[in-house]
Structure 1
Amino acid sequence: MPERNIEFGKYGARGFKGHEAVARQLDDLAGYIATPVTARRGLLARLHYLTRSDHARAAARAAGLTVTDRTLRAWLAGTRAPSKRNLERIEQAYRTVRRENVARYLLARLNREGRGTRVEIHPLNQSQVDRPRQRVVEFRTLNVRRWDRIVAAWAAGDDQELDDAWVDQVVDLGSQWGQYEYVTNVGFAA
């Protein structure tokens, strides 16, 4: 695909892929539990979220939390503590289930009945690049009207699809869209 960067950072530019910034922003909008899973309060909050209904339990099992109901009850009662590996599984299952639960809500908020959401794209950081090699890249805004592919890829955790969906939106910036493949921040609100 034209305009893709092959050797990003070769001369000292810093930033990260635009789709990663979009995923971070969507994660912020999802409103995860702030207390870490290693704290008792955070563990209990995640376990209650994952076990509050039969549907939530099934989603947690599908997301990789495959322990017995007896083990879950022991964790909730505090008689046993999950291992480090199980804590990671609990966190991953919680994030996966939370993404699936809020995806439809976020999609409706971001699409705004076809009006879309304004996105601010902050360009990559070129402060470490020698002056003759710096490009003129400026702050840009873009109104994204179709968030369906972006939110679906984010909810599924599919980075490649999220990248493709984001690039499909960024090409609306014009012939220089490749300059915004790497950014310092992408901001929007729902």
Structure 2
Amino acid sequence: MAELPGRVVVGVSGSLGSLAALRRAVDEARRSQRLLLPLLAWTPPGGEGSYRRAPCPQLAKVWEDTAVERLLTAFEEGLGGRPTDLPVQPMVVRAEAGYALCDVADRPADLLVVGTGRRGALTRLAHAGVSRYVLAHAVCPVLAVPPPRLPHGAARALRRLDPADFGGRAQALAGPVEGRGGRLPAVGRDRRPAPESERRRGSDAG
């Protein structure tokens, strides 16, 4: 049986680390001519256990729509728009971030890209929940990308920049992203959460 082609899967949350990971993932996808699969994972406030005690589908839809907006905003903030020169398949997944990333990047030929925190790549990989989970469970190579080094207060100024200020080869969004209800990114879907013992090790991507 032929091996399925590899993809570049990147965890997106909107943090500076995840924006740096998104930019690196775009470069890797261009270089290797692979499908780019940006993934944003979300869970209800308080976790799935809290939601099961008081389920509210209307609120769940609001949280899901908010996650979609966060993913689209990440394209604008990190790239100046969704790239149009390579295949992109955005996903919004209802699950713990580490579990969702490993569940989607399930091919040995995939490349999984994650952002690290401000403490630096090595320390973050040793202590951060998502990175630790990914390193322990991923079946494909993992690339950890540290955030850019910014002087004190520069992060706030960076977020005030116009998307065009980022430059690069990315182009503006070429129209609405198709999906459920006409708003969700392509192939956006819910995933069953990981077992309780594994969920405790996950957290938001990036």
TM-score normalised over the length of structure 1? 0.24
Larger radius of gyration: 1
Structure number with higher helix proportion:
1
Instruction: Provide TM-score, normalisation by structure 2.
Output: 0.23
